[in-house]
Amino acid sequence: TGTDVAVLLSGGVDSSVALRRLLDAGHAVTPYYLKIWLADELAHLGSACPWEEDIAAAGAVAGQAGLRLTTLPLQAEYWERVVATTVAEARAGRTPNPDVLCNGRIKFGAFYEADQTYFLAHLTQAQLAKAAFPIGALTKPAVRAAAAAYGLPNSGRPDSQGICFLGKVKFDAFLAHHLGTRAGPLVEYETGSRLGTHRGYWFYTPGQRRGLGLSGGPWHVVAKDVDANAVYVSRAYRDVAGVGVAFTFGGA
């Protein structure tokens, strides 16, 4: 017997295939589109947010499966009140026992070239116990093949390289506008040696390897000391970070 599952549909193939795999597994699925930001709030930064295209694609996928898509604003109290028991989205692997908290782990997805598990770094064990990642074991070519096999209306839609609510605005420009910049040290995790300078810890996420400006890599962010505004990096990310979620110092 299945469970009630809330699926966040972005309009892309990853979440769409996740939805269909959950339906195949017998779950009672409710699809949601999460509208994270209002386009007019970013107009002065040159944003051209494609959320209308995204929600149309998500609605087409939901409709094909005989489901009704619901649009939600990003308001925690509303989200907690409305969304069903389990949130299912793409990419990461998962190995929790649903009866025991404090043993859930986020693992690398099968398609390491586009791994995004670092976005999940601050999920609590209670949240992990209610999360599922139906396509974590699939590579992106396998996801594309599954989308074609399902006949999904968005099966040929290009991958998004950004965050949909930012449109054409670069993520760093968005952060700089709202949070400013503050120089701090880039530190090698294993040795404590200072390797360079960054613009502020909030520009970096554990697992990130883009934009570090260091030679001899690839380097990955493995930890942040929020109080000291220090960012720790390593060339041995898989060895140092393990599951890629445990390395945060000095607060959130």
Per-residue pLDDT tens digits of the chain, which is 252 residues long: 467 888 988 888 999 999 999 999 899 999 998 776 555 555 555 555 667 788 899 999 999 999 999 887 655 444 444 444 445 554 444 443 334 344 567 777 777 666 667 667 677 777 777 788 888 888 889 999 999 999 999 999 887 654 555 555 677 877 888 789 999 999 999 999 999 999 999 999 888 888 888 988 889 898 899 999 999 999 887 666 543 333 333 333
Check if 49 is active-site: no
Spell 72-94 as b/e; 16+ CB within 10 A means b: beeeeeeeeeebbebbbbbbbbb
Distance, in Å, from the CA atom of 230 to the CA atom of 77, rounded to the nearest integer, reads 33
User: 175: which residues sit within 8 A by CB, 6+ positions away?
Assistant: 200, 202, 203
Q: Residue 232 corresponds to which amino acid?
A: Y
Q: What is the pTM of this model?
A: 0.63
pLDDT of residue 244: 37
pLDDT score recorded for residue 58: 92
Burial zone of 188 (CB within 10 Å; 0-12 exposed, 13-18 middle, 19+ buried): middle
Domain 4-171: give its CATH architecture: 3-Layer(aba) Sandwich (3.40)
- In this structure, what token pair is assigned to residue 44? 């002065």
pLDDT reported for residue 88: 54
Fold match between domain 4-171 and domain 181-234: no
The amino acid sitting at 108 is F
Check residue 155 and give its pLDDT: 93
Would you say domain 181-234 falls under CATH 2.30.30.280?
yes
Q: Of 102, 126, 149, 179, which is the active-site residue?
A: 102
DSSP classification of residue 72: E
Which is catalytic among the residues 9, 164, 230, 233?
A: 164
- Please state the domain extents for the chain: 4-171, 181-234
Residues with Cβ < 8 Å from 15, sequence gap 6 or more? Answer: 7, 8, 9, 58, 89, 90
